[in-house]
Amino acid sequence: MSFRDLAFLLLPPGDGVAVETGPGWRFEPGDLEDAAVAVWGRGAFPWELPTRAAAVAAVRRETALLRIRALGGGGRRVRGIHRVLAPQIQPGRVAPRARAFLRAGALVELSSGGAVPRVVDLAAREAGAEGPLRRFRSGMGGQLRSVVRGGAGVGVLRVGRAGGPADPARAAGALAALGGLGLAVVPRLLGMDGVAGASWSLESHLPGHPPLRLTGALARDASKLCARLPRADGPARAPSRDLAVVAEAFPRWAGVVSELREEIERAAAELPAVMAHGDLWTQNLLAGRGRLTGVLDWDAWQADSLPGTDLLHLVGMDRAARRRAGLGAAYLDRPWRSEAFGSASAGYWEALGERPGPRAMDAIGAAWWAAQAASSLRRLPELARRESWVRSNVDAVLGSGGR
C-alpha cells in the first residue's frame, strides 16, 4: 500500500511534507524539516511477515505513537492518528484482528498551526459532505473511504490520487454502466469528479454487513446478479489482457502463459463475453437476514470477461478461506469441478443458455486465476518482488503448466 498516496490525501494541496519512517518506527523531528504541516508514518506490513517479526514491529509502532502523543511532533500538534490495515491478498472470512493489528501501519497528522483543509476534505466538500472528514478507512493501493452525510443523504465517499492504482473513477465507471439495470444490490453512483490531483466518487450506502461465511442462499443470490450483468460484443478479451500483465511481470513463464492464452481463446470463441465484478468474494458482499443486500468495490471490473469467473472466485475463495490458502492453492484445488460450484452456477448457466464442457471449464478456471493475479499486480506492483507471494500464487500454478 502506497504511503505516499495516502499521505497526499491527508495534506493540504501542494503543501506539507510526507515522511515515511523505516520498520523501526523511529520518530525524528528533524526529518519533518520546517514544514508547518506533515504526515509521518508508514504503510502496513505484508500478511506474509512472520508473526514474531510483526509483533516486534507492532511494539515499536505503539511505542512511537505513545511518544508522539505525549511529547508532540517536534513542536507540532497531533491532528490525527490513522491505522492502515494490511491489504488482504490472502483470503479469509474476516481477517483475524490480532494478525491485522500486528501488521498495521499508521499515519500521524502533525500541524503547527490551525486546521488546514486537506485534499480529502476538498473532495468531501465537492461531493456535498457536511464538514471535514473525521473517520475513514484506507483501502488497497491508497484509497480512503468514508460514510458521509450530505444533501444526497448518506453515501460512501471514495478518494484516491487521480490516475493511481486506487483511483475511484474506475469503480465509478462500473456503477455508471450498471445504473440503468435496476440492480438493488449494486450501489448507485451519486457523483464523481476530481480536485487538487485527487479523484472522488460518491455512491449510495447499502444496508447489511459482510457475511461470516458463504451460504447457499448467498451463492444463489450472487448467481442471479451475475446472470444479469451485461454481455459484451465480440469474444472475451479480458483474459488476454490479464495474461499479458502476468507475462510482463514474469517473463520466464512466457511460454506457459502463451499456451494458456491459446486454450482460453478457444473457449472464448464458443462462449459469450460478459461483464465481471472481478473480485467477488464474501468481504465485498453485504448481507442481511441471510440474503444478499449489496455488492461493493467494483474497481477490478472487466466488461469482456469469460462467464463464470465471478462465481468461481466466490466459491473458490470460500473453500480456500477454510484452509487459509492463497490464490495459487485455491486454483490448484480446481474449485470449478466441485459440487459447491456446480450447485452455485447451475441457475447461472441456465440463464445464459450455456453448458460449458470440461475443457471449457478448465479454460474458465485459468481465466479466473489470470484475472486475480493480474488484478493484484496492477494494484500492488511490489508483489512481483515478494518471493513468498510469487512462489505460492504464480510459480506453483505455472509450474504445473496451469493445469
Neighbours of 382 (CB within 10 A): 11
Alpha-carbon dihedral 289, 292, 296, 298, rounded to 10 degrees: 170
> Is 140's pLDDT higher than 80?
no
Instruction: Report the distance separating Cα 317 and Cα 334, nearest Å.
Output: 11
Q: What proportion of the chain, given as a percentage, has pLDDT over 70?
A: 96
> Is 93's pLDDT higher than 50?
no
Instruction: Report the distance separating Cα 399 and Cα 151, nearest Å.
Output: 54
What b/e sequence results for 221-255 when a residue is b if at least 16 CB atoms lie within 10 Å of its CB, and e otherwise?
Answer: bbbebbbebeebeebbbbbbebbebbbebbeebee
Instruction: Report the distance separating Cα 221 and Cα 347, nearest Å.
Output: 10
Q: What proportion of the chain, given as a percentage, has pLDDT over 90?
A: 75
> Is 90's pLDDT higher than 50?
no
Neighbours of 400 (CB within 10 A): 12
pLDDT, average across residues 147-165: 90
Question: Dihedrals φ, ψ of 97, to 5°?
Answer: -60, -40
For CA atoms 246, 247, 251, 257, give the dihedral sign.
Answer: positive
Greatest Cα pair distance in the chain: 68
Residue 48: pLDDT band with limits 50, 70, 90: confident
pLDDT, average across residues 333-361: 96
* DSSP single-letter state for residue 282: G
Q: What is the DSSP string of 285-328?
A: EEEETTEEEEE---TT-EEEEPTTHHHHHHHHHHHHHHHT--HH
- Cell numbers standing for residue 289: 437476514
What rounded mean pLDDT belongs to the chain?
A: 91
Q: What is the pTM of this model?
A: 0.91
> Is 2's pLDDT higher than 50?
yes
Residue 88: pLDDT band with limits 50, 70, 90: low
Pairing of strands 17-20, 231-232: unpaired
pLDDT tens for residues 62-86?
A: 999 999 988 887 788 999 999 887 7
Radius of gyration of the chain (CA): 22
* DSSP single-letter state for residue 129: B
Note the pLDDT of residue 137. 85
Instruction: Report the distance separating Cα 261 and Cα 248, nearest Å.
Output: 14
pLDDT, average across residues 218-244: 97
pLDDT tens for residues 258-273?
A: 999 999 999 999 999 9
Element (H, E) at 82: strand 77-84
- Cell numbers standing for residue 5: 498516496
Note the pLDDT of residue 312. 97
pLDDT tens for residues 197-212?
A: 999 999 999 999 999 8
Lowest mean pLDDT among 131-135, 222-226, 227-231, 395-399: 131-135
Residue 321: pLDDT band with limits 50, 70, 90: confident
Lowest mean pLDDT among 107-116, 210-219, 357-366: 107-116
- CA angle 198/281/47 to nearest 5° reads 70
Domains and CATH numbers, the chain: 1-115 (no CATH), 117-205 (3.30.200.20), 216-398 (3.90.1200.10)
Instruction: Report the distance separating Cα 109 and Cα 82, nearest Å.
Output: 8
Residue 224: pLDDT band with limits 50, 70, 90: very high
Pairing of strands 37-42, 17-20: parallel
> Is 334's pLDDT higher than 70?
yes
Lowest mean pLDDT among 16-25, 70-79, 181-190, 275-284: 70-79
Note the pLDDT of residue 100. 81
- Cell numbers standing for residue 103: 501488521
> Is 292's pLDDT higher than 90?
yes
> Is 131's pLDDT higher than 90?
no
pLDDT, average across residues 390-403: 88
